[in-house]
Chain A
């Protein structure tokens, strides 16, 4: 589906959807959203781009192998979980900064955790979709 219209549209859609996905990620604690949905949004963004431009170009834009996002995300979640150990608290206890940040709201290990989930979802979804489209 490489029509010009689609191509151009996807060029604009990609950054927009990516931004939207981050927004979904950050608002998760207060409104519907969160790491899972955010990650899916981002993945869909890249998918639309790949349908329009072809996989190779999309891969160029992402630059790193999407598979690598998975261990990075896992490390982040693991980190968020172990951090409380440093102060003698059980695994995955929520630690929070005192003051809320602008735009984002209260920041703590839960957010770090969610970001990790976000990255894993992008990585996993893209790996799956790319593998299938490349082989089929």
Chain B
């Protein structure tokens, strides 16, 4: 359905960022505006999702130039769902930032940049053109870099250098890949490229190009052996920033992998095997790394990597049920990871440290909060019937069907390592007695904050926990959604015909 309002979510965030720029020093107004815009974007996300669910693929051709001449924006069910989930995370982080972000950072453009970041994410999810996807990636990289360095503390800068270098390397590789695609097909539109690529008989050269994209998006997704920037940087910025990073940035890479590989590069055996091996090693690296960490955020960072491995495993198996697992996992993971870093932030605010060996006593002092925090923690592990459990079933089923038994073993291993890490965190942070912690110099402690600010910290966690609980208990709905998405992804005929407006026959 041709719908000029498809890109409204993107433009809203652009508008938000621009308006926020006008209020550069007036942080109070920025706080109100940011939350307001986040609510609006949630509304738009829900609207777009419902529309796509009922009416099918929504698209618009910018500049009114028909595909493949202009730039198309496409909202299929996957994109629309991701835009919705991104807006949910965005709203949570928005409120959380109001509660926790230091004034100084707010005075130097935190909110505008955050909304530009959300704009970049929405843009990437809705992009239907290769180079357009690239520029949205650019927005995401540069805005995340600025958020990462905002405050210029030593640890932030050290992490940021590694972050930006490796991500710029990813961009360069992306460009090279785009160059090859354009060279092979003369086009940049996803649908058009899909048609033209399938007409080329020399699959080898297409697979090499696919390999370049694999590495480029792989860096962004933090898979093995390209994940090093993540543990180096994710724990350094303020928790609100880590939250939006942990939840969405790597998932953007996974989305790009899923989209390009299902739509354009198809199932090449070599790449499938490569992806499976990479997935297994990713799970291993993430899990092993998380075992060693003494710092909450660092542990969560490594767990991001571990669970990215799960999603890539589904992509490696490349069957409908496996992709189903990947997509379901994607939705669950965004919400849970955003929530986890906020949880780490709350722990930091309450205790003044994220060092697991020094923390303690939360169970005694904060019983209700402990119960609340147990939801994202156990959702991550995948204790049934919480959200992390269901997609594992599909991944195991997929593994059985495609006889990738070693992947099943790694999925079990990864789940076990996650269970162990979370159980240890629970025992150390909640159960054991707290030591006397030195008082932190900067920033307010939780019990020093105003009631309003305190609720700004707790409410987003409650909000996302409720969403997680919904995904877990109403797994039926999420399953139906993911099944439809997986079916559409594995049969891109409909996508291509809708965008190009013609009937094509794919060989």
Q: Which residues of A contact B (CB under 8 A)?
A: 67-68, 70-71, 74-75, 78, 81-82, 84-85, 88-94
Contacts and interface: CB of A to CB of B under 8 A. Distances in A.
Interface centre among B11, B24, B62, B63 (most CB of A within 10 A): B63
A91 B60 contact: yes
Interface string B48-75: 0000000000001111100000000100
7 contacts: A70-B21, A74-B17, A89-B4, A90-B61, A91-B4, A91-B60, A91-B73
B363 to A, nearest CB: 48
A94 B63 contact: yes
B14 interface: yes
B201 to A, nearest CB: 36
Nearest to A85: B4
Interface centre among A81, A84, A91 (most CB of B within 10 A): A91
Contacts of B153: none
Contact of B64 (A68, A74, A75, A90): A90
B14 A90 contact: no
B134 interface: no
Contact of B21 (A71, A84, A85, A90): A71
A24 B18 CA distance: 26
B250 to A, nearest CB: 28
Given A78-B11, A82-B11, A88-B4, A93 B64 contact: yes
Interface string B79-119: 00000000000000000000000000000000000000000
A20 to B, nearest CB: 28
A130 B419 CA distance: 52
Contacts of A90: 4, 60-64
Contacts of A84: 4, 64
B473 interface: no
Given A90-B63, A92-B63, A71 B22 contact: yes
B248 interface: no
Interface secondary structure of B, over-half rule: helix
B132 to A, nearest CB: 12
Given A90-B62, A90-B63, A74 B14 contact: yes
B15 interface: yes
Contacts of B7: 91
Given A75-B18, A85-B4, A88-B4, A93 B63 contact: yes
A91 B18 contact: no
Nearest to A67: B24
Contacts of B18: 71, 74-75, 78
Contacts of A74: 14, 17-18, 21
Contacts of A81: 11
Nearest to A84: B64
A1 to B, nearest CB: 30
Interface string B8-35: 0001001101110110100000000000
Contacts of A67: 21, 24
B318 to A, nearest CB: 34
A134 B61 CA distance: 44
A92 B4 contact: no
B33 to A, nearest CB: 13
Given A78-B15, A85-B4, A92-B63, 11 more contacts: A68-B22, A70-B21, A71-B21, A71-B22, A78-B11, A82-B11, A84-B4, A89-B4, A91-B4, A91-B11, A93-B62
A36 to B, nearest CB: 15
A66 to B, nearest CB: 12
A68 B5 CA distance: 29
Given A67-B24, A70-B21, A91 B62 contact: yes
A68 B20 CA distance: 11
A70 to B, nearest CB: 7
A57 to B, nearest CB: 23
Contacts of B73: 91
A91 B6 CA distance: 10
Nearest to A93: B64
A75 B11 CA distance: 11
A78 B61 contact: no
A89 B5 CA distance: 10
Contacts of B15: 78
A92 B14 contact: no
A99 to B, nearest CB: 22
Nearest to B14: A78
Nearest to B23: A71
Contact of A92 (B5, B17, B22, B62): B62
Contacts of B14: 74, 78
A68 B24 CA distance: 9
A72 to B, nearest CB: 9
Nearest to A74: B18
A77 to B, nearest CB: 9
A81 B14 CA distance: 12
A78 B17 CA distance: 12
Ranked nearest first, the 10 interchain pairs of A and B with the lowest CB-CB distance are: A71-B21, A93-B64, A74-B18, A90-B60, A92-B63, A71-B18, A92-B62, A90-B4, A91-B62, A90-B64
Nearest to B10: A91
Interface centre among B17, B60, B64 (most CB of A within 10 A): B64
A112 to B, nearest CB: 14
Interface string B160-203: 00000000000000000000000000000000000000000000
